[in-house]
Amino acid sequence: MNFIRNTFQFFWTIYFGIIFFTMVLVAFIVFKIQYFLFKDKYESEYKDFLFRGVGKGVRFFGLIFVKDIYHAKYDKNQSYVVVGNHNTAVDIPLNTSSCPKEINIKFLGKAEAGKTPFLGVLVTHLTVLVDRKNPQSRKNTFNLMAKEIAKGYSIFLYPEGTRNRTNEPLKNFYDGAFRLAIEHQLPIVVCTLVGTKKVNSPNRLMSFMPGKVTAHWEEPIQTKGKTKDEVTELKEKVALLMKKRLAEGVH
């Protein structure tokens, strides 16, 4: 049975890779056309097409059945700091495709992603990039995120920093997302993806499979009046909420 499963997984991963690359290529072509014609005029509309359209394509063609659960209503005129757990390579398309339509997000991404062929062009224009090994880059990133917030965007960060390849539900959180929320007095929205490890193992590249995932979008956690001394408290509150959802399992 393991042989059959592993063989299926191998070929499904190749299929999934072809599908994903095709969608990225289409998105790249559309981006080039719209940028040539309109420059940054329709950036928000294009970003919405890319994030939601490609994300939904990944779900549809990858047979990833996601149950989106919204535990609150969101204000389209409010910017948020959005945080999520991070296990797999499909987290971003699942996050974007399930994101409430009222929340207009930009991701904080790794600078290395900007060097990827085709995808790198999209990432560079549609996310905020940071070189985590460069202290000056990390500092500048806060200024860049502030500019995006001023435009009305919400910022999506993974507080674990990188994918969680441990046996623990979560890795330790960095302070950045919580400092950002407090500095700008923005509500924090928590998104917990449950079941992604069965769709794509964090430790194996050739490991894509169809499966079920639950995406929990929580009631905003208010930060108005909070100070930097309360960063640890916020981190613990978010971690407990994510762990609770992970323990509940897939719906």
| pLDDT tens per residue across span 212-248 | 999 999 999 999 999 999 999 999 999 999 999 999 9
On the question of pLDDT at 79 being above 80, the answer is yes
CA distance 107 to 100: 15
To the question of pTM greater than 0.75 for the whole model, the response is yes
Tens digit of pLDDT for each residue in 87-103? 999 999 999 999 999 99
Give the pLDDT of residue 187: 98
By 3-state DSSP, what share of the chain in percent is helix, strand and coil, each rounded to 5?
A: 50, 15, 35
Give the pLDDT of residue 49: 74
- Structural domain including 55 reads 2-248
Question: What is the tally of structural domains in the chain?
Answer: 1
Q: What is the mean pLDDT of the chain?
A: 89
Give the pLDDT of residue 108: 82
Residue 108 backbone zone (phi > 0: left; psi -120 to 50: alpha; other: beta): beta
Residue 185 backbone zone (phi > 0: left; psi -120 to 50: alpha; other: beta): left
127 falls in which pLDDT band (50, 70, 90)? Answer: confident
E strands along 64-196, which residues?
Answer: 64-70, 81-84, 105-110, 128-130, 154-157, 188-194
Asked whether the beta carbons of 91 and 195 are under 8 A apart, the reply is no
DSSP SS3 for 106: strand
Give the pLDDT of residue 114: 64
On the question of pLDDT at 59 being above 90, the answer is yes
List the strands of the sheet with 105-110, edge to edge. Answer: 64-70, 211-217, 188-194, 81-84, 154-157, 105-110, 128-130
On the question of pLDDT at 121 being above 90, the answer is no
CATH code at position 114 = 3.40.1130
